[in-house]
Amino acid sequence: MNKIILIFISIFFSLTAYADMSDTDKTKAWDCSGIYMANYFLPSGETFEYSMKEKSMASVKVLKAYALETGIPETNWDEGVNKAVDKYYGSKYDKVKTDECHTFLEGLIPNGKERVNKVVQTLY
Chain center to CA of 96: 17
In this prediction the pTM is 0.79
Cβ-based neighbour number of residue 115 at 10 Å? 20
Q: For 72-109, how does the pLDDT look when each residue is reduced to its tens digit (9 = 90+)?
A: 999 999 999 999 999 999 888 899 999 999 999 999 99
- Helices 112-121 and 95-108 sit at what angle, rounded to 10 degrees? 110
User: In this model, does residue 44 exceed pLDDT 70?
Assistant: no
The rounded distance, in Å, linking the Cα atoms of 87 and 32 is: 11
